[in-house]
Amino acid sequence: MKRRTVRITPLGYIVLAIIILVMVVSIYFIVWSMRNTGEEPNSGNLNSNSVSSQTPTPSLPPVSANTPAPTVAPTQAATNAPVATTPAATPKPDDTPEPKVKEPTSAQIASAVDGTLNSSGVVLRAGPAQTYSILGKYSSGTQLKVYEAEGEYFFVRVVKENLVGYIAAKFVDKAGIVPGENATPTPKGIAGTIPGTVSASKVALRSVPSTEGNTPVSEAVKGDAVYIFFKTGDFYYIQVASTGLKCYAAAKFITASTAVPTGTPVPTK
């Protein structure tokens, strides 16, 4: 049996070479693709999420058994030692507390006379001296109830505030004599008259027993002695001891030594 032989033409050799070349190139690309797929991402890529995971964690130094423990400052412990106390200062005579202002008795309340302040800025004190504390300050015209005199002060009650204390007598005009007060001595009286004393700082002397439609003819000051003839309305008909002037003066500003009878107004001379 004869063996058949195949003859390859030159063109066949060219085709076969092209096929082999194509196969070699294909194998090369396949191997190259497999190598790139198996490689890890570049660790230098800042956009990779692996950057944080690759940051090294600092390790703590090893603790030795002979390393001393940190020292903590001890808190100051409470002691049972007694606390030194400063002894209270011994009160001096000048430190004696001021006594409380006394209250008027029922007898003083019953015999109190009406009073009025004749000046502004007058102070009410806790006692009858300038060394006592001030309880209040009042203006002219303030109404008072005067209970008694103590030296140069009156023991009074301020009507509006119902507050008791002491006010200098020179600032008070009142309508009568109170216990402890010494009336100014008067000259020998005129027969039929009643001795009296001006109790206000000033009192107007008038020709008629009225404040309307007339001008005062003169005035008398606190302590002036007068002779009282009678009372008509709210006025006394008097004679001033020092001048002999006969006139009318408001009864509330004249302190009479006894009760004054009423009478009929007469003209002054």
Are the CB atoms for 112 and 125 separated by under 8 Å?
Answer: no
CB 238 within 8 A of CB 196: yes
The residue ranges of every structural domain in the chain are: 106-174, 194-256
Task: Give the pLDDT confidence score for residue 82 in this predicted structure.
Answer: 56
Rounded to an integer, what distance in angstroms lies between the CA atom of residue 209 and that of residue 237? Answer: 8
pLDDT of residue 213: 77
C-beta atoms surrounding 148 within 10 Å? 18
pLDDT given at position 1: 55
Given CATH 2.60.120.480, say whether it is the number of domain 106-174: no
pLDDT at 97: 66
Query: How far apart are the C-alpha atoms of 145 and 140, rounded to whole Å?
Result: 15
3-class SS at 155? strand
Q: What residues of the chain score a pLDDT lower than 50?
A: 43-53, 75, 77-78, 185-187, 268-269
What pLDDT shows up at residue 53? 45
pLDDT at 67: 53
Helix (H) or strand (E) holding 229: strand 225-232
Domain spanning 194-256, CATH architecture: Roll (2.30)
Residue bearing tokens 């504390």? 133
pLDDT value at residue 86: 57
Stated pTM of the model: 0.40
| Model pLDDT for residues 8-62, shown as the tens digit of each residue | 788 888 888 899 988 988 888 888 888 766 555 554 444 444 444 455 555 555 5
- Centroid of chain to Cα 52: 67
Q: How many CB atoms lie within 10 A of CB 248?
A: 26
